[in-house]
Amino acid sequence: MNECYYDKRMDFFYNRTKTDTADEWTGPQLIGVLCFGTFFCLFIFVSNSLVIAAVVKNKRFHFPFYYLLANLAAADFFAGIAYVFLMFNTGPVSKTLTVNRWFLRQGLLDTSLTASLVNLLVIAVERHMSIMRMKIHSNLTKKRVTFLIISIWAIAIFMGAVPTLGWNCLCDITVCSSLAPIYSRSYLVFWSVLNLVVFFIMVVVYIRIYMYVQRKTNVLSSHTSGSISRRRTPVKLMKTVMTVLGAFVVCWTPGLVVLLLDGLNCTDCGIQHVKRWFLLLALLNSVMNPIIYSYKDDEMWATMKRMICCSSEDKSQERRSSRIPSTVLCRSTDISGHYIEDGIIQGTICGKGDLGDKGNS
């Protein structure tokens, strides 16, 4: 029977696999890395919180697609938490970690990746349901969307905990990987291949849906009298989703390929020299998504801008007089009416003055 090493610290596994833990990251270099990571993590927290708040506040976003988009922002917010934990438990600190703490560090990263991936897959299904009926939004009820969101996180947490539940090399250190010294190489192959296959499937599905939308829109445009923006709405939503998916694939694929090479025990691939850069690339994905939402979706940008402006103005009025109640001017707007299906009542949006729209992308 093989001996198990649950009571060992990580230095035992790092030394055995000769894994570089960046002992040279000290002094100014370490401070620079921490400052850089802290800035991006703060941006992830603030920007993704704004996306979630925009979906909650604006009734025009109270549809399955935007609920799932908000859940994707929640996954990015969770990724920020995972990166903060990683930031203070990496480099020279890695060797001092217990096995359970290292499992927690990696489990948080795996959970955030799985949550984003499964969420994008569910969005693909939702888009397929709506697009094939040539509707802007699907007919999913709030209960079903809630069930889907709960299921997404249940799957993500389970996948993040799989190595902790037993698929590791603590009882057979001959199969330990190099990048993840207590993960078995077979698990890294399974994990990376599974994600890469899902990437490929989603890209194919979204390309097929996009081509279908373009074809149907061109056919219907010559037979309908609706506004051009109204007919282009499904295309605009698909462009947003495809941009998010494209950024996700570009940011995560290099890291997954490196894990696959490590799982295949490629000793001459130089994976130790690129792992940190690919991890940074994965971090940038959570930074990019809120920017994509606001840039590609005029209504999302307008809502986020109003929340920031209203909050700043409320604070300014409170400073001027604590006895005089502030007056908030509200007006009914139609900034992005093409996001609303016929028969939906336009909401009243808080804003002062004419904020205007952001230019179409």
Task: Provide the pLDDT confidence category of residue 338 given band limits of 50, 70 and 90.
Answer: very low
- Give CA–CA dist 294/359, Å, rounded: 11
Measured between its terminal Cα atoms, the distance across the chain in Å is 63
> By the 8 A CB rule, do 247 and 287 touch?
no
Token pair in block for residue 201: 């499937």
Which of 297, 276, 309 has its CA nearest to residue 339?
Answer: 297
**359, pLDDT greater than 70:** no
String of DSSP letters for 98-130? BHHHHHHHHHHHHHHHHHHHHHHHHHHHHHHHH
29: in domain: yes
**138, pLDDT greater than 90:** no
353: in domain: no
85: in domain: yes
Number of domains in the chain: 1
> By the 8 A CB rule, do 111 and 160 touch?
yes
- Give CA–CA dist 149/205, Å, rounded: 21
% of the chain exceeding 90 in pLDDT: 24
% of the chain exceeding 70 in pLDDT: 73
> Is the pTM value of this prediction over 0.85?
no
4: in domain: no
Which of 252, 351, 310, 347 has its CA nearest to residue 50?
Answer: 310
> By the 8 A CB rule, do 40 and 87 touch?
no
Give the domain range for residue 45.
Answer: 10-223+234-309
Provide the pLDDT for residue 16.
79
Instruction: Out of 64-73, 130-139, 333-342, pick the least confident.
Output: 333-342
Provide the pLDDT for residue 119.
92
163: in domain: yes
329: in domain: no
pLDDT tens digit sequence for 117-126: 999 888 888 8
335: in domain: no
pLDDT tens digit sequence for 17-40: 766 555 445 566 667 777 777 888
Provide the pLDDT for residue 111.
94
Q: What's 284's domain CATH number?
A: 1.20.1070.10
63: in domain: yes
